[in-house]
Homo-oligomer: A and B are copies of this chain.
Amino acid sequence: MTTPRTLEGIVDKIGIGLLGYGTVGSGVGKLLKTNAEDIALATGRPVELRRVLELPGFSHPDLDPALVTDDFDDIIEDPEIDVVIELIGGTGAARDFQLRALRAGKHVVTANKQLLSQHGAELLETAERNGVHLRFEASAVGAVPIIKVLRESLVAAEVETIFGIVNGTTNYMLSAMTETGADYADVLAEAQRLGYAEADPSDDVGGKDAAAKMAIMASIAFHSRVTLGDVAYEGVTRVTALDIAHGRRLGYVCKLLGVARLIDGAVNVRVYPAFIPAAHPLAGVSGAYNAVFLESEAFDKIMLYGPGAGSVPTASAVIGDVISVVNTAKGSFTRNCLCYKDLPFFPSEDVLSRFYLRVRVSDQPGVLARVAAVFGDEGVSIRSMVQEGSGAAADLVFLLHPAREAHLFSALERLRALDEVEGEPGVIRIED
């Protein structure tokens, strides 16, 4: 039997400065209190929340008002603060605060995916120059420790593909559209009412949130810098209930996927809505859950699944990072900055993809022949076609063989120009 450990003899505290006491920040405050003993026993050092940066006049029922300050200098100048947790978000003040904290020799833990995916190199290099750690588990997949797994467990496993559902808001919305047949705008309004979507949902529904996460994960997995600007992303704004219903009849479920691949030694990172087979493990991931598949020759595939957001799950990832910082060898030289390769990018227009394509046409003789001729001219080959509806207008639903994306989009442009084609065609990639 092991003798239970006690806190006796543990004196060297870890001082925490917390920037922002909103959804995640208050979750961190709560976990720091309720799990104080576990953290102390896991690290050998008790944690102490010393300062919280918030707006003047801020108060919160769980927070000692004496800890609150609206002056970042109070944090930077406190020699007892070892770790700064940045949860204010954005790329302005947050960047300034992180850089100043790192330069002052303080470790930084953050959930700020937009900042990391746009200014990661600057921040990581600043951390390294100052011999401190920058950790950002909560910037990727919430409570799911994908960053730790990629940067530590699988660092030598040559991950080739990262593939998954990394945005809970759109996953909730697509699940709801699939189940109820409701259209995008109605589901968004309902998601906002229930708190699953923010008042300004554009980062989520436009794919930027998922793109930032994919950039961060791809950088770590491929050891090569990928920024938000390197990610081609589409959101769910053009997904219609009609296309979801057509896909469903064909055995597919629509998900917003993040896909990062090494293709011929080059990096391709994208976010797009895609049809996946109803029996695929990702098809069963619904609501606010996220799931990420990693593929490598070394381990075939690994999947991690869990809540992608939320106050306490995200806070749990932040606390994991605090513990990791304390327990990691200071000065182990590449621990922050693992982007030691400088891989080229693979152009998205050259990627071979499979597509679902729905074209609404006026029901005239010869229309199918004219549509098919466009595909033929562009070298896009048809695997199957179903005509739905009749009368004045019909939907032609095509499943296409793998084609270079440039060819597909060139065909699409010509289809739009045909007199017989009505409205905007539905275009969704198919992933198996």
List B contacts of A299 (CB < 8 A). 142-143, 306-307, 312-313, 316
A1 CB–B CB distance under 8 Å: yes
A249 CB–B CB distance under 8 Å: no
List B contacts of A319 (CB < 8 A). 156-157
A281 CB–B CB distance under 8 Å: yes
Q: Decide if B302 touches A303 in the complex (CB within 8 Å).
A: no
Could you tell me the distance between the alpha carbons of A284 and B334 in the complex, rounded to whole angstroms? 39
Q: How far is the CB of A256 from chain B (nearest CB, A)?
A: 20
Q: Decide if B320 touches A300 in the complex (CB within 8 Å).
A: no
Interface centre among A4, A142, A291, A330, by most chain B C-beta atoms within 10 angstroms, is A4
Q: Decide if B42 touches A316 in the complex (CB within 8 Å).
A: no
Q: Decide if B35 touches A156 in the complex (CB within 8 Å).
A: yes
Stretch at the interface among A85-93, A145-153, A198-206: A145-153
Q: Which residue of chain B has the shortest Cβ distance to A145 in the bound complex?
A: B153
A2 CB–B CB distance under 8 Å: yes
Q: How far is the CB of A338 from chain B (nearest CB, A)?
A: 7
Q: How far is the CB of A41 from chain B (nearest CB, A)?
A: 5
- Given A2-B121, A323-B152, A334-B43: A300 and B304 within 8 A (CB)? no
Chain A 261-316 interface residues, beta-carbon cutoff 8 Å to B: 279, 281, 284, 291, 296-307, 312-313, 315-316
Residue in B124, B156, B327 whose beta carbon sits within 8 Å of that of A39 in the complex = B156
A362 CB–B CB distance under 8 Å: no
Residue in B2, B39, B144 whose beta carbon sits within 8 Å of that of A302 in the complex = B144
Could you tell me the distance between the alpha carbons of A339 and B2 in the complex, rounded to whole angstroms? 7
A255 CB–B CB distance under 8 Å: no
Per-position binary interface string of chain A over residues 318-355, scored 1 when its CB falls under 8 Å from any chain B CB and 0 otherwise? 01100110111110111101111110000000000000
A223 CB–B CB distance under 8 Å: yes
A225 CB–B CB distance under 8 Å: yes
A154 CB–B CB distance under 8 Å: yes
Q: Which residue of chain B has the shortest Cβ distance to A328 in the bound complex?
A: B329
- Given A153-B137, A153-B145, A328-B329: A302 and B305 within 8 A (CB)? yes
Q: Decide if A303 touches B300 in the complex (CB within 8 Å).
A: no
Q: How far is the CB of A12 from chain B (nearest CB, A)?
A: 11
List B contacts of A307 (CB < 8 A). 299-302
List B contacts of A326 (CB < 8 A). 332
Per-position binary interface string of chain A over residues 127-150, scored 1 when its CB falls under 8 Å from any chain B CB and 0 otherwise? 000000000010000111100110
- Given A298-B313, A312-B299: A342 and B306 within 8 A (CB)? no
A48 CB–B CB distance under 8 Å: no
Could you tell me the distance between the alpha carbons of A169 and B296 in the complex, rounded to whole angstroms? 22
Q: How far is the CB of A319 from chain B (nearest CB, A)?
A: 5
Could you tell me the distance between the alpha carbons of A156 and B33 in the complex, rounded to whole angstroms? 11
List B contacts of A339 (CB < 8 A). 2
Residue in B42, B144, B303, B338 whose beta carbon sits within 8 Å of that of A42 in the complex = B338
Q: Decide if B329 touches A330 in the complex (CB within 8 Å).
A: yes
List B contacts of A413 (CB < 8 A). none
- Given A300-B307, A327-B329: A152 and B156 within 8 A (CB)? no
- Given A1-B121, A42-B338, A152-B320: A143 and B304 within 8 A (CB)? no
List B contacts of A338 (CB < 8 A). 41-42
- Given A41-B223, A43-B334, A284-B281: A298 and B156 within 8 A (CB)? no
A–B Cβ pairs within 8 angstroms, 7 of them: A42-B334, A43-B334, A143-B302, A152-B320, A281-B281, A297-B312, A299-B306
Interchain residue pairs A-B with the least CB separation, the first 9: A5-B340, A145-B153, A302-B306, A143-B299, A303-B305, A153-B320, A35-B156, A42-B155, A44-B333
